[in-house]
Amino acid sequence: MTKKAEWPRKLRSQEWFGGTSRDAIYHRGWLKNQGYPNDLFDGRPVIGILNTWSDMTPCNGHLRELAEKVKAGVWEAGGFPMEVPVFSASENTFRPTAMMFRNLAALAVEEVIRGQPMDGCVLLVGCDKTTPSLLMGAASVDLPSIVVTGGPMLNGYFRGERVGSGTHLWKFSEMVKAGEMTQAEFLEAEASMSRSSGTCNTMGTASTMASMAEALGMALSGNAAIPAVDSRRRVMAQLTGRRIVQMVKDDLKPSEVMTRQAFENAIRTNAAIGGSTNAVIHLLAIAGRVGIDLTLDDWDRCGRDVSTIVNLMPSGKYLMEEFFYAGGLPVVLKRLGEAGLLHKDALTVSGETVWDEVKDVVNWNEDVILPADKALTSSGGIVVLRGNLAPKGAVLKPSAASPHLMQHTGRAVVFESIEDYHARINRDDLDIDETCIMVLKYCGPKGYPGMAEVGNMGLPPKVLKKGITDMIRISDARMSGTAYGTVILHTAPEAADGGPLALVENGDIIEVDIPARKLELKVPDEELARRRAAWVNPVQPLVGGYGGLYVKTVMQADTGADLDFLVGQRGSRIPMDRDSH
């Protein structure tokens, strides 16, 4: 099924470099100060290596080395590689949250691709927001593009126990509050959490999005799980450099790979791997750029009957290193195909179908990639809840939730903001017990702003000291893909947009019925109408700059939280086809 296009043909880069006009000489001439021979401008594919390396993005701190391997592959295949630094949003350093800048990064990447003489792109990504942002930008331009990720860190160990980045941060923090670990021990454990280059070694959002890129067909088979420091990661980068040159020759574009079938494959893959709830927002946004009408209903429909078979933290016990040794994502895709849950003929960037890529792979460890009858959960897909508390939907990750809380009615303990939560959560006089439902407001796309990863609120010490490790938590925020618990997220519309979440008061009764996909606030309609009439939005909107633009134009979580004017494809043509000289 390899896609082929007529070759040779005039490439887009020749609009800059071809011919003997003054403008062509201008474009070529300045680049020659880097020592490029004249024949590099003779019509060979120019490949932009869009690199999200940054000292401020530690997960991507090794990408300059990988970029050199990509370049080597491009040179070998007869292309002309040019490395281009692009906006890099790191979840662990950006405030108020990297999610606020995902769309800015996507906008910048789109214009970098469109405005410069590239025939194809390698998207060099790692930390979780860099993967969707570059895919969004590339999708809107629709030039041949391929993903290579930086890969996960090596396993962490502390006193003989595997330490999962993020997951154990939350676990150890709760243990300190419960009196089960000292602060000194917590600080000692810190050194074991990040012991090599790479992204989180759990099935957090970074590894989830690397898996989504592969399941969408936008990365070479096997890319997602190779550890960052494994030599095979560098081999993958070099092979990706070779492949993008052929993709340009074949004119294989993102729109031909990221089809509806590809997105359905990715949704089912997310269920099978126990992937992050953040994948919901990111895939909705990417689909919007391609022009695919993907909805929350598709997430529930496609993922509902898919078992979680990857035994990784935060849902299971292993880490990405073991996942790679077991065979990685190709084994999961093969299992989905054998179960009739994969669109086998979906095209990938390799030029072959997804089934051709995975049909012969072997599972080398059935305790890491489990048989279906030993699945972590039989219904692993992201659950979409609706009701008068979330008329446009809210999401929950069942593989990380507690079975005994799947049907629960409890009294609301409301935190009016994240600051209110921090001020009250550790107080002995907080009126809360394990039967209550914690509610956090004003942390959605407009409210935080940026929809921070604060939805997995830590439990109060007075509950933790009783040995309780989970309670239902509801918010319009996100949570880290490394987190766990019965956490209901992305409630839409958000409180700051006037959603019903804004009307919840302490003592209200909330019913959660996950099998029935139900989230109900047990308050009479007349009382809710009275509260709405008296409601005043406490969130002061940002004014001016990117923050002001963001708050004015950001969409809600149920449609991907993109900026409304960025949805769709705009193609690779420069507006009005104007040359700058």
Q: Please write the tens of the pLDDT for every residue from 322-340.
A: 999 999 999 999 999 999 9
| 85 belongs to a structural domain | yes
Write down the pLDDT at residue 210.
98
Is the residue at 384 inside a domain? no
In this structure, the answer to whether residues 242 and 343 fall within a common structural domain is yes
Confidence class for position 581, pLDDT limits 50, 70, 90:
low
Confidence of residue 580 (pLDDT cuts 50, 70, 90): low
Buried b / exposed e over 539-569, threshold 16 CB at 10 Å, is beebeeeeeebbbeebbbbbbbbbbeebbeb
Q: Do 513 and 493 share a structural domain?
A: yes
Q: Is the pLDDT of residue 443 over 80?
A: yes
More confident residue, 261 or 165: 261
Angle made by CA atoms 299, 302, 305, in degrees to the nearest 5:
115
Answer yes or no: is pLDDT of 531 > 90. Answer: yes
Question: In terms of domains, do 303 and 282 share one?
Answer: yes
Residue range 64-80: mean pLDDT, rounded: 98
**Residue 6: inside a domain:** no
* CA–CA separation, 534 and 384 (whole Å): 30
Same domain membership, residue 453 and residue 310: no
Residues 31 and 177 in one domain: no
**pLDDT confidence of residue 576:** 62
Residue 396 lies in a domain: no
Does residue 140 lie within any of the structural domains? yes
Quick one: pLDDT at residue 90? 87
What pLDDT shows up at residue 544?
94
Amino acid (one-letter) located at 205: T
What is the CATH number for 228?
3.40.50.2300
The share of the chain scoring above pLDDT 90, in percent, equals: 88
> Which residues is 482 bridged to in the sheet?
none
Look up tokens 């979409």; give the residue: 384
Tell me which H or E stretch contains 80: strand 80-85
Is the pLDDT at 1 greater than 70? The verdict is: no
Mark whether 132 and 206 lie in a shared domain: yes
For residue 498, what are the domain limits? 401-539
- Give the tens place of pLDDT for each residue, 73-102: 999 999 999 999 999 988 888 899 999 999
Q: Count how many domains the chain has.
A: 4
Q: Answer yes or no: do 438 and 301 share one domain.
A: no
Same domain, 318 and 417: no
Domain assignment of residue 381, yes or no:
no
Which pLDDT belongs to residue 135?
Answer: 98
Cα angle, residue 211 at apex, residues 282 and 160 outer, rounded to 5°: 115
Angle at 242 between CA 238 and CA 245, to 5 degrees: 145
Does residue 214 have a pLDDT over 70?
A: yes
Q: How confident is the model at residue 577 (pLDDT cuts 50, 70, 90)?
A: low
For residue 166, name the pLDDT band (cuts at 50, 70, 90).
confident
Q: Token digits for 553?
A: 């134009």
Closest among 507, 501, 521 to 442, alpha carbons compared: 501
What global pTM score does this model have?
0.96
Within-domain flag for 119? yes
20 and 124 fall within a common domain: no
Cα–Cα distance between 193 and 49 in angstroms, integer?
30
What's the whole-number average pLDDT of the chain? 95
Q: 425 and 359 share a domain?
A: no
Residue 388 forms part of a structural domain = no
Q: Which residues pair with 474 in a beta bridge?
A: 439, 488
For the record, the structure tokens of 115 come out as: 């405005």
| In a shared domain, residues 409 and 457 | yes
Give which of 363, 485, 495 is closest to 439, Cα–Cα. 495
- Dihedral Cα 431, 436, 437, 442, nearest 10 deg: -10
Mean local confidence (pLDDT), 466-494 = 95
Instruction: List alpha helices for 2-44, DSSP H.
Output: 14-17, 22-31
Query: Which residue from 76, 120, 352 is spatially nearest to 239, judged by alpha carbons?
Result: 76
pLDDT over threshold 80, residue 5? no
The closest alpha carbon to 520, from 5, 559, 528, belongs to 528
pLDDT of residue 379: 87
**Which of 355, 374, 393 marks a domain boundary?**
374
| Whether 276 and 405 share a structural domain | no
pLDDT digits (tens, 9 = 90+) for 291-327: 999 999 999 999 988 999 999 999 999 999 999 999 9
Confidence check: pLDDT of 72 > 80: yes
Average pLDDT over residues 227-237: 98
pLDDT above 70 as % of the chain: 98
3-state secondary structure of 396: strand
Q: Convert the pLDDT of each residue in 351-407 to its tens digit.
A: 999 999 999 999 999 999 999 999 999 888 899 999 999 999 999 999 989 999 999
Q: Give me the half-sphere count of Cα atoms (radius 13 Å) on the Cβ side of residue 508.
A: 23
Q: How confident is the model over 521-531, as a mean pLDDT?
A: 97
* Amino acid residing at 444: G
What is the pLDDT averaged over residues 209-227?
Answer: 98
Of the candidates 145, 175, 195, which is a domain's last residue? 195
